[in-house]
Amino acid sequence: MKNQKTIKQEVSISGIGLHSGKRVTLTLKPARSNYGIRFARTDLDTPVEIPASVGNVHSTTLATTISLGGVRVSTVEHLMSALWAMGIDNVVCAVDGEEVPILDGSALPFAQLIRKAGVKSLRSPKKYLVAQKTIEIREGSKWAVLRPSREFRIRYSIDFPHPVIGKQDFEFSSSTDFLKEIAPCRTFGFLKDVERMQAMGLALGGSLHNAVVLDDTSALNPEGLRFENEFVRHKILDAIGDFSLIGYPILADVELHRAGHDLQTRLVHELIKTPDAYSIWVPRSDEAFESQFCLTTAAYAL
Ligand SMILES: [Zn+2]
């Protein structure tokens, strides 16, 4: 039986917030079965916990922000992606500010933090959301489609009129090694947008230390790219983070073209509110799981 998982011990990491530029500390704490993933604001007089669910998504501009009762936590997607990859179902993510630290702009430091904490199996069985219907959202030349499938798969394609990016596509499936192929891929932005945002008081923490920054012709980071197609791989990292807001690992075939946090979270919303579009499945045994679905990523083997 696939059991739910949490972390073995409390771990912390500090860094700056991408948008505020302020230093913030993230502490991950073990949680019991069926607790889910919750973000806690520890800097407030009355501590607040916000369940990481699609119903609590407040904004998808630039990053995914969740909120509850006027209290918010921003830039949750890279941490959510790492928690998904490491198979963590229950954990408290405590932050002493409005943002999760951006660290190097990828999910790798979060994955390493979770690995440092250790992964612990709980008694309750893991639950999966199984897509039963095709859900589709189109907006001009962008689209997001989700189809029933025996495994979780994402195909992502992007098309930026920029010499370093251009057309890129990548397929993530159960055979992709998330930690090697996806987790190290950093967020990216264009210098002219960064300058414009910083003039508006946004992306104040953005720098070459936590993002790939592009001018009109090249990437400005002296160390270069981690993969030639690091951009589309990062889009997959973000999408996994957004899909993890469902609250269960999802079994569906997802196709995304020039999507982004907005289209991805709208697709998830549409799935959740469509009658008979999904079922929640609890495998009774390893055999039942293996015979019906194949999830063999390194992460799930942890
Ligand atoms: Zn991102």
Considering only CA atoms, give the Rg of the chain. Answer: 18
pLDDT digit string, tens, across residues 3-54 = 999 999 999 999 999 989 999 999 999 999 999 999 999 999 998 999 999 9
For the chain, the average pLDDT equals 92
Domain boundaries, the chain: 3-125, 128-301
- For residue 287, what pLDDT band results from cuts at 50, 70 and 90? low
State the Cα–Cα distance between residues 252 and 268, nearest whole angstrom.
11
Q: What is the CATH number of domain 128-301?
A: 3.30.1700.10
Question: Is residue 295 scored above 80 in pLDDT?
Answer: no
Q: Are 117 and 8 in contact (CB under 8 A)?
A: yes
Cβ–Cβ under 8 Å, residues 67 and 38: no
Span 203-244, pLDDT tens digits: 899 999 999 999 999 999 999 999 999 999 999 999 999 999
Residue 261 is a catalytic residue: yes
Residue ranges of alpha helices (H) inside 55-143 are: 77-85, 108-117
CATH 3.30.750.200 assigned to domain 3-125? The reply is no
By the 8 A CB rule, do 178 and 295 touch? no
Structure tokens at 246: 């469902």
The Å distance, Cα 235 to ligand 1 centre, comes to: 7
Both structure tokens of 208: 């070459």
Share of the chain above pLDDT 90, in %: 83
Short-list 88, 299, 96, CA closest to 181: 299
Ligand 1 center to residue 260 CA distance, Å?
Answer: 9
Domains 3-125 and 128-301 share a fold: no
Contact 19, 204 (CB under 8 A): yes
Q: Is the pLDDT of residue 296 over 60?
A: no
Compute the distance from residue 187 Cα to the ligand 1 centre, in Å.
Answer: 5
Q: What is the ipTM of this complex?
A: 0.99
The confidence score (pLDDT) of residue 94 equals 98
pLDDT band at 300 (very low <50, low <70, confident <90, very high): very low
Q: 137-163 pLDDT, tens per residue? A: 999 999 999 999 989 999 999 999 999
Report CA(3)–ligand 1 centroid distance (Å): 29
Tokens of 58: 């407040």
Give the active site residue among 58, 162, 261, 269. 261
The CA 278 to ligand 1 mean position distance, Å, reads 27
CA of 176 to the centre of ligand 1 (A): 19
CA 237–ligand 1 middle distance (angstroms): 7
